[in-house]
Structure 1
Amino acid sequence: MLQYRAEFDATVMFSTGGGLHAQGFKVDVPHADPTEAQIAALFVAACRLSDVERVELRHVRVLAEPHLGIPAVEAAPRRWVELSHVITEGLITLPGLPAPEFAPHLTREASRAVYAPGTEFAIDLITMVGNTGTYLDSPFHRYPDGTDLAGLPLERLADLPAVVVRTAGSGVRTVDVDALEGLEVAGRAVLLHTGGDVHWATPQYVVDAPHLSGAGAQWLVDHGAALVGIDAANIDAMTSAGERPAHTLLLAAGIPIVEHLTGLAELPPTGARFTAAPPRVSAFGTFPVRAYASVPAVEPHDHLRSGGWLPTSGG
C-alpha cells in the first residue's frame, strides 16, 4: 500500500510582515496529482501558520512511498449512496438544452438473425448533449487548452474524501466564504448540499437556484479543494449577464465541477468517500456521471449516542 508525499521548497509571506523559508519540506498528500494550491494549503495547516498572505513553492515533486509500521486491518463496513439523477428519454436538465433521445440500433428481434438460436441482444442509441442529468465539467468545458475528459486523472474523480457543506433549509441561496471557513478542504471533494434538487425536472428548478459565490470559489481554490459539486441547476448564479465566476475560477485551477447532484442529505459532514467518473472522451468538456459515495455503515443508535449526524430522506 502506497502513501504520497510532496517534497518542496517554500517561501511564506505574512500579512503582518516578515516571511519564512523552508527547504526540503514534506507533507502527506491524498493522491499522486495534487495541485500546488493543495500542497500549499496542507503545508500551512501542518505548520499551523496564521496571517499567511502568500505561499510560493519551488522544486515540487510527489513521492510514492510504502506505508511503514502500519499493520493491515480489515476495512470497516461501508454502505453506498446514490448521488445521481436517472436519465430518461425526454428529460429536460436545463431549459434551452435538448432532451436525450433513445432509439434502437439493433433490436432483439433483428439480432436473432445474427446470432445462434436462443441468443439475442439489444444495442441502443442515445443522442444527447454532455450537459444531461448529473454531469461533470472538466477544464476543457471552459478553456480550449484545458484538460479534457480523457485527460482527467482518476485521483481527481474517484474515492475522494468528502466534505459536505450544508445550507439546505436555511433559506441561504448563495454559498459564500462564511459557509466554508474553518473546513478542511485540501485534497477533498467539497459537496454543496443546498436542497436545490427538490425542484429537479420542474420549471422551479432554475428559478433563483442556489449557487456558489465567486468569493467562495476563490476560497476553495486557495485552500486546495480537489473537486466541487452542487445539488442545484448551476454552480454559478444563472444571471442574464452570463457571468460564471465559479466555473472560471475552479476550472482554471484544474478543479472538476459536478452539477445536478442529489441525495446529499444522506451523507455525513465528513467521512464519506465520493466518486464521479465520466467516460474518457477526448476533446470533450462535459459528460454525465454515475456519482455516488460510500459512508461508514454505522447503526442509527450509534449516531444518536454520539450526538452526531443522522441520515435523512429529505433535503
Structure 2
Amino acid sequence: MLQYRAEVTAAVTLTTGGGLRAEGLRVDVPHADVTTAEIEAILVRSLGLRDVERVELTAVRVFGEKPPVAGEPGPPRTTFVELSHVIQAGMTTYPDLPALVISAHLTWEDSRSRYAEGTSFSMERIEMVGQTGTYLDTPRHRYEGGTDLAGMPLERLADLPAVVVRAVGGGRRAITTDDLEPLTVAGHAVLLHTGHDRHWGTPAYAQDAPYLTGEAAALLVERGAALVGIDSVNLDDSSAASAGERPAHTVLLAANIPIVEHLTGLENLPPRGARFTAAPPRVTAMGTFPVRAYAQVPFHEPHDHTRSAGWLPQ
C-alpha cells in the first residue's frame, strides 16, 4: 500500500502580523485526490500553528511512495530555501550602476522560417554589470590578478555548512567581533542576517545599511570561514562616512574567501544545520557575477512519528 504525501510551496500569514515561507515542504495526506483546502488544513495542523489568517499554496505535488520497512532508516529529507532576489529588466542593484537590459536576439516568430513547421525557439540577450541581483565577489573583484570566477573552487561555493548570525533590529548597523566571538565558523558559510532585504527595490535599501566591520572580517579569516554572505547592499559600510574604504572586502578577498551580497530570506534558515550553495558561471577575467543562492534545510522526525516541517522561524 502506498503512503501519500504532498510537496508544497507555501506562504502562511498570521493574524499577529508575522508569517513564514517554505519551498519543498512535505506533509502526509490521506489519499491521492486530496484537495487544496485539505492540504492547507493538514499543513496548519502538522506545524502546530495558531492565529493563522491565510495559507497560500503556489505549487502542489501529490505523490505516493512505499512506506519504509520497520527497522530500516528512511532516506534523508530536506527542503530548499530560496535566498536570491529575482533579476528582471530595468533593475539596478547598487546605486549609480547601469540598469539591466533584456532584449530579443531571436523571436519565436522570426525563428519559424529556420525550423520545421510547428517548431520555433526564442533567444534572449542580457546586458548587465556583474553587480546585479544576488551576486558573488571573488578576489579579482578587489585585486588585480586575483582568482576570478572560473578559478573559484566548488568547495568554496557549494554545499557548505552554514552558520547564520542574527543581527536584526536594535538600531545598530555594524556587525562586530562581539557578534562572531561565540561561533564556530571554520569551513562554514557565515551568513549575516540583518533583515535589510525588506528594503530591496526602494531608496531605503542604500541608506543606513548594516555592514561587517574590518575587525570582524579579520576574525573570520583567522577562524577559517569558507564564505561570507549578507542580506544588505554591501558587506562594507558604503556610506559617505567610510570615505571609500572597504576593509571587509580587502581582508576577506585577500584570504580567497568569496563574498555573497544581496541575499534574502535568511530568516527562513536555522542558526546551524543548513547547507548553503551560491555558484556562478565559470567566467574568466571577471570577478563578480549573479548567483542562484539557496540552502538545504533538513527535516527532523519527532519521536511521536508526526511529521515536522524542519526548522521554522520563531
Q: What TM-score do the two structures reach when normalised by structure 2? A: 0.72
Cα distance, 1:114 vs structure 2? 0.7
SS in 1 for 2:186: coil
Q: Does the 8 Å contact 2:158/2:278 carry over to 1?
A: yes
Cα distance, 1:171 vs structure 2? 2.5
Cα distance, 1:92 vs structure 2? 1.6
Q: Does the 8 Å contact 1:269/1:309 carry over to 2?
A: no
CA deviation string 1:215-268 (max 9, x = no partner): 100000000000000000000000331000000000000000000000000000
Cα distance, 1:206 vs structure 2? 0.9
Equivalent pairs, count: 237
Identity between Structure 1 and Structure 2 (%):
66
Aligned partner of 2:269 in structure 1 is: 267
SS in 2 for 1:158: coil
| CA distance in structure 1 between the partners assigned to 2:302 and 2:275 by the alignment | 19
Residues 1:295 and 2:297 aligned together: yes
| CA distance in structure 2 between the partners assigned to 1:168 and 1:119 by the alignment | 52
Aligned partner of 1:280 in structure 2 is: 282
Q: Does the 8 Å contact 1:94/1:233 carry over to 2?
A: yes
Q: Does the 8 Å contact 2:83/2:294 carry over to 1?
A: yes
Aligned partner of 1:32 in structure 2 is: none
Q: Does the 8 Å contact 1:210/1:237 carry over to 2?
A: yes
Change (3 A) 1:281 1:74: farther
Aligned partner of 2:197 in structure 1 is: 197
| CA distance in structure 2 between the partners assigned to 1:289 and 1:103 by the alignment | 21
Cα distance, 1:311 vs structure 2? 2.4
Q: Does the 8 Å contact 1:300/1:310 carry over to 2?
A: no
Cα distance, 1:298 vs structure 2? 3.7
- RMSD over aligned CA atoms reads 2.1
Aligned partner of 1:39 in structure 2 is: none
SS in 1 for 2:253: helix
Cα distance, 1:73 vs structure 2? 6.5
Aligned partner of 2:18 in structure 1 is: none
Amino acid at match of 2:140: F
Aligned partner of 1:129 in structure 2 is: 129
CA deviation string 1:248-305 (max 9, x = no partner): 0000000000000000000000000000000000000000000000001247999xxx
| CA distance in structure 2 between the partners assigned to 1:280 and 1:300 by the alignment | 42
| CA distance in structure 2 between the partners assigned to 1:290 and 1:170 by the alignment | 30
Following TM superposition, the consecutive aligned residue runs of length 4 or more in structure 1 with deviations greater than 4 angstroms are: 72-75, 299-302
> Can you give the 5+ residue segments of structure 1 that lack an aligned partner in the other structure?
1-71, 303-307
| CA distance in structure 1 between the partners assigned to 2:170 and 2:192 by the alignment | 13
The 5 A counterparts of 1:137-152 are 137-152=137-152
Q: Does the 8 Å contact 2:297/2:311 carry over to 1?
A: no
The 5 A counterparts of 1:182-193 are 182-193=182-193
Q: Does the 8 Å contact 2:192/2:229 carry over to 1?
A: yes
Aligned partner of 1:155 in structure 2 is: 155
Q: Does the 8 Å contact 2:299/2:311 carry over to 1?
A: no
Greater shift after overlay, 235-244 or 155-164?
235-244
Greater shift after overlay, 73-82 or 231-240?
73-82
The 5 A counterparts of 1:204-243 are 204-240=204-240, 241-243=243-245
Aligned partner of 2:86 in structure 1 is: 86
| CA distance in structure 2 between the partners assigned to 1:170 and 1:301 by the alignment | 37
Aligned partner of 1:112 in structure 2 is: 112
Q: Does the 8 Å contact 2:208/2:239 carry over to 1?
A: no
SS in 1 for 2:113: coil
Amino acid at match of 1:135: Y
SS in 2 for 1:80: strand
| CA distance in structure 2 between the partners assigned to 1:75 and 1:279 by the alignment | 31
Q: Does the 8 Å contact 2:164/2:269 carry over to 1?
A: yes
> Can you give the 5+ residue segments of structure 2 that lack an aligned partner in the other structure?
1-71, 305-309
| CA distance in structure 1 between the partners assigned to 2:114 and 2:300 by the alignment | 50
Amino acid at match of 1:233: V
SS in 1 for 2:114: coil
Aligned partner of 2:256 in structure 1 is: 254
Change (3 A) 1:301 1:100: farther
Amino acid at match of 1:151: G
Q: Does the 8 Å contact 2:137/2:287 carry over to 1?
A: yes
| CA distance in structure 1 between the partners assigned to 2:302 and 2:169 by the alignment | 22
Amino acid at match of 2:212: L
Cα distance, 1:310 vs structure 2? 3.0
| CA distance in structure 1 between the partners assigned to 2:311 and 2:297 by the alignment | 12
SS in 2 for 1:218: helix
